Amino acid sequence: MSKIKQSKIDGILARREVSLVSFEETEGDEVWQVASQTDKSKSYMITINKANTFECECPSFKYDVVNDPQTCKHCEAVKQFKVIVKDDFDGVELES
């Protein structure tokens, strides 16, 4: 379980600061972008590989020694966003 404060994650999700940048179906990698909460001119890229391992370019992720596996509020926001979006579209048939 992550030791990241849920209120920080909720702030990111409430402001809709999470977006999918690319998805490589052949490689299984996803790249997400999340805005910095402290500097609105910055955003961080989060990569999720096919083994569902998250990596963020923010300093919090780089120096995280508390969580196992390593994480940050940006990674946790993407995880929760994916659950929300999945729940929103479960049972919806897409047109071919």
How far apart (Å, rounded) are the C-alpha atoms in residues 9 and 26?
30
Q: Is the dihedral of CA 40, 59, 83, 85 positive or negative?
A: positive
- Bridge pairing between strands 29-35 and 54-56: unpaired
Q: What's the pTM value of the predicted model, to 2 decimals?
A: 0.79
Question: Residue 83: pLDDT above 80?
Answer: yes
- Which residues are within 8 A (CB) of 96 and not within 5 positions of it... i.e. 6 or more apart? none
**Within 10 Å of residue 72's Cβ, how many Cβ atoms?**
27
**Within 10 Å of residue 68's Cβ, how many Cβ atoms?**
8
Higher model confidence: residue 61 or residue 4?
A: 61
